[in-house]
Amino acid sequence: MAVTVDETEESSLLSTYIVYVTKPEGGVNSMESVDLDSFYQSFLPASLSRSDREQRLVYSYRHVANGFAAKLTAEEVKAMETKEGFVSAHVQKILTLHTTHTPNFLGLHQNLGFWKQSNFGKGVIIGVLDTGITPGHPSFSDAGMPPPPAKWKGKCEFDATACNNKLIGARTFQTDSKPTGGGDAADPPIDDEGHGTHTSSTAAGNFVEGASVFGQANGTAAGIAPLAHLAMYKVCGEAGCAESDILAGMDTAIDDGADVLSLSLGGGSAPFYADSIAMGAFSATQKGIFVSCSAGNEGPSYGTLSNEAPWILTVGASTVDRIFLASAQWNGNGYEGESIFQPKDFPSTQLPLVYAGADGNESAAVCAAGSLSSNDVQGKIVLCERGGGIGRIVKGQTVKDAGGVAMILMNDELNGYSTLADPHVLPATHVSFAAGTSIKAYINSTSSPTAAVLFGGTVIGKKSAPEVTSFSSRGPSFASPGILKPDIIGPGVNILAAWPISVENITNTKSTFNVISGTSMSCPHLSGVAALLKGSHPDWSPAAIKSAIMTSADIVNLEGKPIVDQDLLPADLFAVGSGHVNPSKANDPGLIYDIQPDDYIPYLCGLNYTDQEVGSIVQRTVSCSNESSIPEAQLNYPSFSIILGSSTPQTYTRTVTYVGQGNATYNFELVSLEGVDVSLKPEQIMFTETNQKATFSVTFTKTQKTGVAAFSQGYLNWVSGLHTVRSPIVVIFE
């Protein structure tokens, strides 16, 4: 019966609360919308008139929660505690956004293989919850698109011509622009930020020839599932993404008939009963809808994840093999960096070089606004440090305003070798921490330092790709340490996709694109992959699709070496999860680890949640004392996260389903797990028909060889003549 109230909040101040209540007899799904509104309004203050109650009720949730969103005071919520059926309430949180070549990099080619076999996602509906969309952009053309499936029930809040067979739905859910219930009276879901247009076209943009930004990355742009249908649910704006709006968008997407939900947003770690995305995603999973979410941009520190629930695909970010080469050269040395803005008329000659922070001025070191003197930087290339809470492009504007002719932006130590290609406002290159440190040493060694910035255009074929980028959030999961997260990594660095306006100020075209980075970009890549798999295997559950993606992932880069992180060291499993997505392999995984929605109940009870907390997630009465409560690691998950505090063995079981053809024999293989003894029973499993299941047990025992390592990692593989079904293992030592 908990009510979460900010102690500093005025008791008379109206805030949007999420209110959870006990499901009425027969359930909310069986109620008409008018009856549902009336039921929820019965919890509002009796002193309010009927019209006031209607005004105060912001959203009535049907699928994602037994509850509603309403504008209430703290006193009113306190009084609501005494009403029969009241469970809990809290002030809504504001979540944040996690903000063409990639299909080819992922092995998807227009007339070959899995892309063609999956029919490019035709007939699958991807619902995107984001900042809106730009109708009329060529990426959302319906050329070659069939009408939406008969099950589709969505609406388009643009004018009649804006939606089509590609963009089949568009709704706005924003409490600040629409104070009363439903999305109907809101402004149309135009994308004023660019984020939603970019993520939507990444997931399912149609083929657009001649896409480029500043003349770079020229080619045909396409989403991962270019013939899938799109529906936009605008739940985010300039101020962020309100929790009540996210729940309303997910609720509507479920009702509309979406097959895949893509959410490039999050609010950090929280127990699943207090995590609106986790709760909405569980309801979607119950309806057979796949949910893909960004892991967050708070890396490279450990324990920085969002969207950790095991029924969500949690996606980290990696690089692709394309770079936008911009090199810094000085004193016979040179380091590669990146920039999307590459002016052709910038001289390649050596120019005076200055580091404004040489005298200890930290503001000048990070090129804060107003920190640079024109006397110091006029006509010079300026070395700026990353950080200080100042945007990378803003730093360039500061240099330009002070009369600098170019910028070398160096990483801080935390970001290491992870660089980004930005549309800078002046000639610039973003270089590594090592490069910047070398440049600093050079500047300090001479009275007249000089440098040049050289532009090399778009370069494809970087063999160290994919690399985990520094900003990609890392595990372990706080909400559930016994589940390894993130699940997967995918392209999220320097991604070209649709944009509402021209970043080059070109006014005579709608074919406008931009290059941006974030786990916001990797998430829709995986949403698109899920749509392809849904089209190819319509009978697979969301957990089966997720398993196929995870167990088939790549763990080496293009030159066959381990995937590295921002320090160019082998990335650990808290960074890569199962590895880098390989769509073609995911289409034929051999074995899958399936999970049905009710299988999560013993797992949730095992997290020591109360009956009420578990019930709020699964939306039915649960008695954990009557459930077979299980430890986290016992969930039939495609990976293992084990916490070993002693030498007492821990044994867990898994069940795999054979999704291949004909007879098959799989043999157990363990790869590099130090300090732990692993035994499996049986070590060989045989299948004679599709969909046959087999159960095995695996026992983990801590040995005396662990030393001072905080954790050990490796892989449990099932190997046949055609497949390697790989499950990553992390063992955390206590």
**What is the side-by-side order of every strand in the sheet holding 236-237?**
236-237, 240-242, 94-97, 265-266
Distance CA 265, CA 218 (A): 29
Query: Percent helix, strand, coil in the chain (nearest 5)?
Result: 25, 30, 45
520 in catalytic set: yes
Q: Where are the beta strands (DSSP E) in 80-119?
A: 86-91, 94-97
Whether the CA torsion 381, 385, 388, 389 is positive or negative: it is positive
Neighbour count for residue 85 (Cβ, 10 Å): 13
Query: Would you tell me the crossing angle of helices 276-286 and 611-618 to the nearest 10 degrees?
Result: 60
Among candidate residues 60, 269, 520, 547, the one labeled active-site is: 520
Distance CA 584, CA 532 (A): 10
The type of residue at 177 is S
Q: List the alpha helices (DSSP H) in 610-709.
A: 611-618
Distance CA 606, CA 620 (A): 17
Environment class of 669 (CB within 10 Å of its CB; exposed 0-12, middle 13-18, buried 19+): middle
Distance CA 184, CA 457 (A): 47
Residues 216, 504 contacting (CB under 8 angstroms): no
130 in catalytic set: yes
First to last CA, the chain: 35
Among candidate residues 90, 101, 195, 430, the one labeled active-site is: 195
Environment class of 129 (CB within 10 Å of its CB; exposed 0-12, middle 13-18, buried 19+): buried
Among candidate residues 88, 90, 98, 130, the one labeled active-site is: 130
Distance CA 429, CA 455 (A): 9
- Enumerate the β-bridge partners of residue 676: 702
Length of the chain: 734
Return phi, psi of residue 561, to 5°: -105, 160
Distance CA 599, CA 130 (A): 30
Residues 92, 235 contacting (CB under 8 angstroms): no
Half-sphere exposure of 357 (CA within 13 A, CB side): 19
Identify how many contiguous H helices and E strands the chain contains and give both numbers.
18, 36
Chain-centre distance for alpha carbon 425: 28
**What is the H or E stretch that residue 20 is in?**
strand 15-21
Catalytic residue list: 130, 195, 520
